[in-house]
Amino acid sequence: MVEPGNKRDMIREIERISTEIISTLRDKEGCNHLNGPNLPSRQSVIDIIATLESIIFPGFQEDEALEDEYLSFNIGGKLLRSAQDLISEISKSLNCRQDPCRNDGDYELNDAEASVLALRFLSKIPEIREMVMKDVTAALKGDPAARSREEVILSYPGLEAITVHRMAHELYMMNVPLIPRMMNEHIHRKTGIDIHPGATIGESFFIDHGTGVVIGETTCIGKNCKVYQGVTLGALSVKKEEANKKRHPTLEDNVTIYAGATILGGNTVIGKNTVIGGNVWITSSIPEDSLVYNRPAEYILKNRYASQNSDS
């Protein structure tokens, strides 16, 4: 034990603890590329998200004066900063394709590939922004409480989750390691909405309330779909050998899923124009134009005041 106020003993104890910790790093598990380049920075990825959101929603993410004659400088500067940051983080993520315990990778080639991937991704921003603005419209039309597009952009967690997902999905489709998951897990922690970057989601998607929504990797969602809080679009099995198979359901166009519903399985297809009621458990396909709901519960109403009067 270290005597209070004895700095020499304190230093020796710290050295001993440090030695024990270092000994646990020799198996290289949970160590950020010892003797090699670092993996992507979580904070850098969060900063990239913030910059990209400010490009998609100019003036909404930060206090900035927007004037026509300076707009190109504003957007161009943010794109340049995003490109530089993306190249750095993508290059680090590409190291994951090599043995992280070795330090003989060709990192210059990674930088060159990262430049190509970063610019290819940024070229998708106009398309992503068009999709996101349709999501804004879907929220405005789908929620009677929404008063304006500005309110949706500033305060709806579902919109932020789908915005980040649409960015992460593009990187996922480019086979960029790590960063798509880091993006979606950041927004998962922030909003309580868990969308795997592999999920394919059509235009005009609306997540109402949002907390507890889970959308799995191989989920396919059509146009004009709406889901409420607590909805799970998941897999029937979590076997590792099925990782490359379609494990999650398909929603066709114009499907609404109410709170607490669970829909599982890669072969499960919810037909277009279908409404799934709250707390329903589904593991098989539903034809189009259907209405699915649980049998209403039988309520036992007991008025304690009436009961007391009858006893007297």
The string of DSSP letters for 118-182 reads HHHHHTTHHHHHHHHHHHHHHHHHH-TT---HHHHHHH-HHHHHHHHHHHHHHHHHTT--SHHHH
Q: Average pLDDT of each block of 10 consecutive residues along the chain (312 residues)?
A: 71 90 74 72 96 92 73 90 96 75 60 95 98 98 96 97 98 97 97 98 97 97 98 89 88 98 98 97 98 88 63 53
Q: How far apart are CA 61 and CA 164, in angstroms?
A: 14
Q: How far apart are CA 193 and CA 195, in angstroms?
A: 6
Say which residue the tokens 């990192």 belong to: 107
DSSP 8-class letter at 286? B
Find the length of the chain. 312
Which is nearest to 232 in space by CA: 276, 287, 202? 276
Per the CB < 8 A criterion, the answer to whether 257 and 281 are in contact is no
Say which residue the tokens 């050998």 belong to: 241
DSSP 8-class letter at 82? H
Q: How far apart are CA 142 and CA 205, in angstroms?
A: 10
Q: What was the pLDDT predicted at 264?
A: 98
From the number of C-beta atoms within 10 Å of its C-beta (0-12, 13-18, 19+), residue 3 rates as exposed
Ordered domains of the chain (ranges, CATH): 32-193 (1.10.3130.10), 199-296 (2.160.10.10)
Enumerate residues 6+ apart whose C-beta is below 8 A from 30.
Answer: none
Q: Which two tokens stand for residue 98?
A: 């090599």
Question: What are residue 206's DSSP bridge partners?
Answer: 226
The string of DSSP letters for 166-212 reads HHHHHHHHTT--SHHHHHHHHHHHHHS-EE-TT-EE-SS-EESS-TT
Q: What was the pLDDT predicted at 60?
A: 81
Lateral strand order in the sheet of 256-257: 206-207, 226-227, 256-257, 275-276, 291-292
Q: How far apart are CA 51 and CA 76, in angstroms?
A: 12
Angle formed by the axes of helices 157-173 and 42-56, to 10°? 110
